[in-house]
Amino acid sequence: MAVIETDQLAKSYRVYRKKEGLGASLAGLFRREYREVEAVRGIDLRVEEGEFVAFLGPNGAGKTTTLKLLSGVITPTAGTARVLGHVPWRRENAYRRRFALVMGQKNQLWWDLPAAESFRLHQEIYCIERDRFGQTCHELCEMLGVEHLLGQPVRELSLGERMRMELIAALLHSPEVLFLDEPTIGLDVVAQHTIQQFLREYQRLRRVTILLTSHYMRDVAALCRRVVIIAAGRIIYDGPLDGITGHFSGQKIVSLQLADGEMPTGLERLGEVLESRPPKVRICVPRGEVTRVLTHIFAHCAVQDVSVEDPPLDAVIAEVFSRS
Amino acid sequence: MITRPATYWTVLFISLQERLVYRGEFAMSTLMRFLPIITQIFLWQAIFSAIEVERGSETIAGYTFHGMIAYYLLTTISRAFSSMPGLASGIARDIRDGTVKKFLIQPIDMVSFLLVRRLAHKLVYYMVALGPFALVFFLFRGFFEGWPEPHVFAGFVLSLLLAFLLGFFLEATLGMIGFWFLEVTSLMFVYMLLNFFFSGHMFPIDLLPGIWGDLVRLLPLQYLAYFPAAVFLGRVSGPALAAGLATQFAWVVFFAVAARVAFHFGVRRYSGFGG
């Protein structure tokens, strides 16, 4: 059975359109122009139990809006959704005890008190038995290496340490579904790696269903096999991570190591020259042209080494985002 | 929404700890609230002297100078229960910056949570303010005509507790307006102004003449400052006391429902601001 299922899920907002200048501000006191922003336009999504799905898209594509809809923070304009059999925006306690939402940019812990106090409150809010709470809390703290920080006020923790505490707070009630909205935003490489490792290990042990949004392809590559790309409120790709390049990029990168270090002429007619520092040359060529281009190069240059690769995933994603 | 009492006990316990973190700042702000008492006493002294010279009268609307000071001191107690600094603006801020999401995601009721947090806030406040209050009332003991009858005193205590609840639910309702307008600072300014004049904090509302007095008596604001003080001073007694307490209770229920209705409808149009 699908854990998350949406059918033509849509959400639009009415936003105030303010023109520039003081005059427009004054006019806005009497008459305002609004426009309808369709943040999510009919999303059909099905996520099975235990899947770790990355939700990618440029800023404003509708990722966070979708997570807010699935966690019941907002009500849709149209369409339906069921998570663990519940309609999220009914906000039933039975549902709220079964999922968690972690937002990288939002702090849910009590700022002036040690994280242990927030954890204790979560124990009560989620009705977690004392023994189970102690065991889960200990396990999570150990996995994330923060046991020694439990007594320190949250405001005195580093961003990375705080994020780890946020994750623990969200997981204390052992949610079956976890929504992660940019959990590694602003973190350094080491902290990102720690969180990635933790999430991978936690998901492996608990088989929890996770929907992750992140702008860091490193997160996605490390954690998710399935990727959903959303642009302008619509899903434009839903498939394996390694299928993205084939789906969106009609290009291949041909890297050459020339034997004589002399730059051959007419390369730019074969494709886009990405690097030209003889003896190293890199050309981006249409996928279907690779054989023809290589034949041409071998006929005209002395080549020591050659490789043909897909463009880097980051570049493909960036291109998809900019096109959308 | 049913949540276990133990949950709110924990909220209370944690809120108490939170309030005690910045103990210096908290003690300072609490003590600063006693300063206006001195200026008010001088002000009333000047007003009574002027009236005595002009009209040869020693009372204003039945209040002697001593009675007026006793009334004023009692309203400071009423307000120690009913004033809710930062509640409405805090709710509106949480709506604007998205912090309110926490209450939509977690199985806890926002209004009850805020009520318990405010209770902790008040308990710490009383702990700090008890000494100064005792000192002020001891110094001005000559302005009072002695302790009221036990049943009147019980009415006074009950009216203070209801004043706390009324103040909380009234401001919580105002804060929920943030779901529609996001910014409630000006609205709060108007409310504070009305509260200052019509709750009986600035002067007893029986001083207001004719229709103005009648209108103000229709508002719930008098139950925040005037009513408990009037009960203590015996200005409201017998059936009027019972009717007053019943009306105060009815206003508490009204705003408790209003806060929840506003939350219910506000959440529906909420856009989940702030990422």
Model pLDDT for residues A53-112, shown as the tens digit of each residue:
999 988 888 999 999 999 999 999 999 999 999 999 999 999 999 999 998 877 889 888
**Interface mutation vs chain B, best among A13, A68, A97, most B CBs within 10 Å:** A68
Please report which residue ranges of chain B form alpha helices under DSSP H: 5-19, 23-32, 35-55, 65-82, 87-97, 101-105, 110-139, 150-176, 178-181, 185-198, 210-218, 226-232, 239-268
Q: Is the Cβ of B11 closer than 8 Å to some Cβ of chain A? A: yes
In which domain, by residue range, is B29 found?
5-268
Q: Taking CB atoms and an 8 Å limit, are B104 and A91 in contact across chains? A: yes
Q: Are residues A288 and A186 in the same domain?
A: no
The neighbour count for residue A258, using CB atoms within 10 Å, is 19
Q: Taking CB atoms and an 8 Å limit, are A124 and B10 in contact across chains? A: yes
Q: Are residues A59 and A179 in the same domain?
A: yes
B187: in domain:
yes
Q: Are residues A99 and A209 in the same domain?
A: yes
Contacts of B274 in chain A (CB under 8 A): 105-106
B residues 108-137 lying closer than 8 A (beta carbon) to A: 108
pLDDT number for residue A209: 96
Which residue is closest to A179 within chain B, CA to CA?
B105
pLDDT number for residue B173: 96
Contacts of B183 in chain A (CB under 8 A): none
Average pLDDT, rounded, for chain B: 89
Q: Are residues A240 and A141 in the same domain?
A: yes
The neighbour count for residue A116, using CB atoms within 10 Å, is 14
How far apart are the CA of B106 and the nearest CA of chain A, in angstroms? 6
pLDDT by residue for chain B (275 residues), tens digit each?
456 788 888 999 899 888 888 778 777 877 787 888 888 888 988 998 888 888 777 788 888 899 999 999 999 999 999 999 999 999 999 998 888 999 999 999 999 999 999 999 999 889 888 888 899 899 989 988 888 999 999 999 999 999 999 999 999 999 999 998 877 888 889 999 999 999 998 889 988 888 888 898 899 999 999 999 999 999 998 899 999 999 999 999 999 999 999 999 998 878 765 44
Give the separation between CA A194 and CA B207, rounded to whole angstroms: 69
Q: Are residues A224 and A94 in the same domain?
A: yes
**Interface mutation vs chain B, best among A108, A112, A121, most B CBs within 10 Å:** A121
pLDDT number for residue B275: 45
B273: in domain:
no
| Domain harbouring A209, CATH code | 3.40.50.300
Q: Are residues A152 and A277 in the same domain?
A: no
Q: How many domains does chain B have?
A: 1
For A84, the token pair is 């663990």
Q: Are residues A286 and A142 in the same domain?
A: no
Q: Are residues A130 and A31 in the same domain?
A: yes
Model pLDDT for residues A295-314, shown as the tens digit of each residue:
888 888 888 899 998 888 88
Of A206, A222, A245, which residue sits at a domain end?
Answer: A245
Q: Is the Cβ of B105 closer than 8 Å to some Cβ of chain A? A: yes
Q: Are residues A122 and A268 in the same domain?
A: no
Of A230, A245, A260, which residue sits at a domain end?
Answer: A245
Q: What are the Cα distances from residue B216, in Å, to A24, A179, B210, B226, B249?
A: 40, 51, 10, 11, 17
B275: in domain:
no
Bridge partners, residue A38, by sequence? A12
In which domain, by residue range, is A265 found?
250-316
**Interface mutation vs chain A, best among B9, B101, B116, most A CBs within 10 Å:** B101
Q: How many domains does chain A have?
A: 2
Of A245, A266, A297, which residue sits at a domain end?
Answer: A245
A residues 114-143 lying closer than 8 A (beta carbon) to B: 117-118, 120-121, 123-127
Cis peptide before A279 (omega within 30 of 0): yes
Q: Are residues A120 and A262 in the same domain?
A: no
Give the separation between CA B64 and CA A158, rounded to whole angstroms: 61
Q: Are residues A221 and A160 in the same domain?
A: yes
| Domain harbouring A267, CATH code | 3.30.70
Bridge partners, residue A308, by sequence? A254
How far apart are the CA of A263 and the nearest CA of chain B, in angstroms? 50
Model pLDDT for residues A185-238, shown as the tens digit of each residue:
888 888 889 999 999 999 999 999 999 998 888 788 888 989 999 988 999 999
Model pLDDT for residues A96-154, shown as the tens digit of each residue:
999 999 988 778 898 889 999 999 999 999 999 999 999 999 999 999 999 999 999 99
A98: in domain:
yes
Q: Are residues A69 and A161 in the same domain?
A: yes
A321: in domain:
no
